[in-house]
Structure 1
Amino acid sequence: MNSIEVKNLKRIYRATIGVIRRTVKEVIAVDDISFEIKEGELFGLLGPNGAGKTTTVKVLATLLIPNAGEVKVNGLDVVKDANEVRKHIGFIFGGERGLYWRLSGVDNLRYFASLYHVDPEVSKKRIPYLLELVGLKGRGNERVQGYSRGMKQRLHVARTLLHDPDILFLDEPTIGLDPVGAREFREVIRDLQSEKKTILLTTHYMFEADSLCDRVAVIDKGLIVAMDTPSALKRHVSDLSVVEVETFGVAPKVVDQIRELSFVDAVSVRDQGQRQLILVQTPLGAEAVPAVMSALNGMRVGRVTVREPTLEDAYVRLVGGKE
């Protein structure tokens, strides 16, 4: 049984440009996409900034009306049955907004429980359970202003679960969290999945999608360019190896020179503070190293390694390639 069904979804924004001669420009945020999410599945939506991830989630959560297509949540139309859909869903944005910092965690949950029309006797029992579920047991009576960012995000989860929704939309929930907080939050997501919740997760972090998601859809420029399990997506790059070169500063023209090499499938650069990591996808493996190093002639280079591809490399190939 499918919890979510999206058929030919299209969403267009209209932006006004100019000061004197004002013109209206149409921006297609989501362009005729279709997918289904099974009951109890953790489904990942991956894509660069502006790809259409958040727009898709907002349509599913009844926050935006689609321009075309049909979207159903638990068999209910998100436009015609919006009020009924909201009883079945919970929505979590990345960030710290949406909480009252001068109140304690418990008082925040009591307030939101009243907004969700949760019976006071039910919320009295459910709030301690949720605080324990998200790892805030013993911290509920503290003011939220004293919480770390990770604790605030976990309280967001508890707030979202007050009315016990069947379906959760997590829109980049670990963005801005430190590594420890992000790891702890991913454990919370695993706990939610063990409760048979249907979860749609948008994320920029490939390793996060790889470790959490049952299936993943890659969206780019409003279009779904691939959809499968993480392991199946990795097979898209099974014919490649990845040459990693650590540099201390790299010019865009140098990256373009590497990209133009005939045996290079894709190139990306990962910033690591004062260092950069150039990732070159190629079927040649170690044989490609001399030519890559030649293109970096005169640059200060650190370690050079050749490894097997990951889900992130599959993502780069799908949305980057040699463009």
Structure 2
Amino acid sequence: MIEATGLTKSYGDVRVLTGVDLRVAKGGVFALLGPNGAGKTTTVRILSTLTRPDGGRVRIAGLDAVRGRRMIRRHVISLTGQYATVDELLTGEENLRMIGRLRRLSRSAARRRAAELLERFDLTEAARRRVATYSGGMRRRLDLAAGLIGAPSVLFLDEPTTGLDPRSRQALWQVIADLVTTGVTVLLTTQYLEEADRLADRIALLDGGRIVAEGTADDLKRRVAAHRLDLVLADTDAYTAAEAVLGARAVHRDPGRLTLGVPTDGDAARVRALLDEVDPTRTAVRTFSMRTATLDDVFLALTGRTAQTASPASTLTEPTGV
């Protein structure tokens, strides 16, 4: 459904994309993961025909994204941005009916489609309330419903759960999962590792304007290690000494909790050898535990930082709102 080859994009002297290649199969959820400034939003804007790339080519459902832009917009895609764009002065029902009319539906068809979507997104009871009275989660659901008025086959979601509380975020995850069962292909961008892990059939990790890894969540985790050994050190001195011994092998560091994480395949002999290396006197390690590797481990291993602690300087690689 989506094919991009060699995408490049610059804004002035700032290179945002440096050669992005993507292939998204029909159906399911494809997640584009990366820190602020990685180029996620620019990639989505290009794929959704809002921005022309400086170089490279995009095809959506077999149509060229430049020559077939009008056809793609009208019949194939929909885009929901980072923030809800519904009209707060109108009711939820009025918002959807207005979008339906803008999509050239008849009055009766727009009314029927609005009713269908309000029911699907659990907004029927609030349909005749002004959107100004809606919670953040309700607004996001309404915004997503508006994007489905035209029954698109490809839906772009740019950081759809930004600013939502955990309960609202999980509710929206369920909505997205339900959409996929109807045959819609979803490409979403996110900074939330749990979101990508929970929703995506395939994940591409974007960093510095290029794809640095792609695969299923399990595939990406196996690139780092099947498991992670977390060591809780006895005190600050023990933590500092262990950190020096492990060096770059430590993919997780939490000085506040005196915890270091090290990739491992789970083999008992290698775990014992690692413990002996870090704590030969058997006094430095207070406790240890094994855990399954996470996407955060992948992120750190491939980009040199966690998603939650992306360098502020990285925002310079992508202008605000791009």
Fold conserved between structures, TM > 0.5? yes
Q: How far apart, CA to CA, are the structure 2 residues paired with 1:276 and 1:171?
A: 34
TM-score, structure 1 as length reference: 0.81
Tell me if 1:174 matches 2:155: no
Tell me if 1:117 matches 2:104: yes
Q: Which has the higher helix share?
A: 2
Matched residue type, 2:119: E
CA drift at 1:227: 0.7
Q: 1:211-231, CA deviations, whole angstroms, 9 ceiling, x for partnerless residues?
A: 211111111101111111111
Q: How far apart, CA to CA, are the structure 2 residues paired with 1:245 and 1:157?
A: 44
Alignment map for 1:29-44 (pairs within 5 Å) = 29-44=16-31
Higher relative contact order (CA 8 A, sep 6+): 2
Aligned partners of 2:226 and 2:292 also within 8 Å? no
CA drift at 1:94: 2.3
Q: How far apart, CA to CA, are the structure 1 residues paired with 2:175 and 2:297?
A: 27
> Alpha carbons of 1:144 and 1:221: their partners in 2 closer, same or farther (altered >3 Å)?
same
Tell me if 1:151 matches 2:138: yes
State the partner residue of 2:79: 91
Tell me if 1:48 matches 2:35: yes
Query: How many residue pairs align between the two structures?
Result: 297
CA drift at 1:241: 1.6
> Alpha carbons of 1:69 and 1:277: their partners in 2 closer, same or farther (altered >3 Å)?
farther
Moved more, 113-122 or 140-149: 113-122
Tell me if 1:13 matches 2:17: no
Q: How far apart, CA to CA, are the structure 2 residues paired with 1:81 and 1:116?
A: 18
Matched residue type, 2:298: A
State the partner residue of 2:261: 280
Matched residue type, 1:307: R
State the partner residue of 1:210: 197
Q: 1:75-107, CA deviations, whole angstroms, 9 ceiling, x for partnerless residues?
A: 1122222111112111112223x1111210001
Tell me if 1:317 matches 2:315: no
> Alpha carbons of 1:156 and 1:266: their partners in 2 closer, same or farther (altered >3 Å)?
farther
State the partner residue of 2:44: 57
> Alpha carbons of 1:83 and 1:113: their partners in 2 closer, same or farther (altered >3 Å)?
same
Q: How far apart, CA to CA, are the structure 2 residues paired with 1:277 and 1:131?
A: 49
Aligned partners of 1:51 and 1:219 also within 8 Å? yes
3-state SS of paired residue (2:173): helix
Aligned partners of 1:54 and 1:171 also within 8 Å? yes
Two-structure CA RMSD over aligned residues (Å): 3.2
CA drift at 1:285: 5.1
TM-score, structure 2 as length reference: 0.81
Matched residue type, 2:116: Y
State the partner residue of 2:88: 101
Q: 1:167-219, CA deviations, whole angstroms, 9 ceiling, x for partnerless residues?
A: 00011101110111001000000111011101101111112111211111111
Matched residue type, 1:141: R
Identity percentage of aligned residues: 36
3-state SS of paired residue (1:211): helix
3-state SS of paired residue (1:127): helix
CA drift at 1:278: 5.3
> Alpha carbons of 1:124 and 1:9: their partners in 2 closer, same or farther (altered >3 Å)?
same
Aligned partners of 1:4 and 1:74 also within 8 Å? yes
State the partner residue of 1:297: none
Unaligned runs of 5+ in 2: 265-269, 280-285, 312-322
Unaligned runs of 5+ in 1: 15-25, 294-301
Q: How far apart, CA to CA, are the structure 1 residues paired with 2:25 and 2:201?
A: 10
> Alpha carbons of 1:8 and 1:117: their partners in 2 closer, same or farther (altered >3 Å)?
same
1:132 counterpart (119, 137, 142) = 119
